[in-house]
Structure 1
């Protein structure tokens, strides 16, 4: 699956469009604590499914800041928007629908305080590499379900020459 994902991720993830691929409540609480401890004002999320992780992170931003998230599947985006409206957090969220690597190239309006990588495993490293030059010093990068086979992601973040600490 990982080999197919790296080359044909749009088709792979289109087949998952109806799946409820979300974080657990415990992971959501962890994300909230990380964002609050960092006093994050700008958070970037790569992949969001139906927006559950976004709710935890946007709640941590209520005192200011903004949030960008990306989602390849337009069918999930409306559900995510509805969830953000229900949680009264829609004004804190910017949604970019489509290929995250294209969406992240456009910039996010300033330095990034926290990154959540929760999209296609094979794209975690390229998504991080697009944001690395814009990370504030000490910004946490949280990768949900990072696996060794994910196109060198773990090797990249474990290499001190890349400015990351495992």
Structure 2
């Protein structure tokens, strides 16, 4: 069986997944990040519990009920923003990130929204990843030192 045909499930994350999210988040396993912030279980749980304030949804990619990575999507009035995508290091380069981004694109398509994301200026790996999935830079945010990218039609 090829790596990309591995059966995975993408679903909403629950509070019980927070400890694994912290493990994935903190060792710099980010595919992309609009923040360099480190989290504790308490800080990430607090962030997770307040997610509805900003219309954020947290999705996990699971393999046999194990959280391999996650993505935070922000639903705005007329667009979908991928705020964070992170994979555990042992699940990188296996197509899991592409599956998460494809999921985000399908979510946006259901709403007839464009898909945006943010990538820190120094994160060349993430930029190349998103370029390979059809994103292009539309602006540079000096305040946050990140590029704003838009997905071209999929």
TM-score norm. by structure 2 comes to 0.35
- With the length of structure 1 as denominator, give the TM-score of the two structures: 0.34
Q: Which has the higher strand share?
A: 2
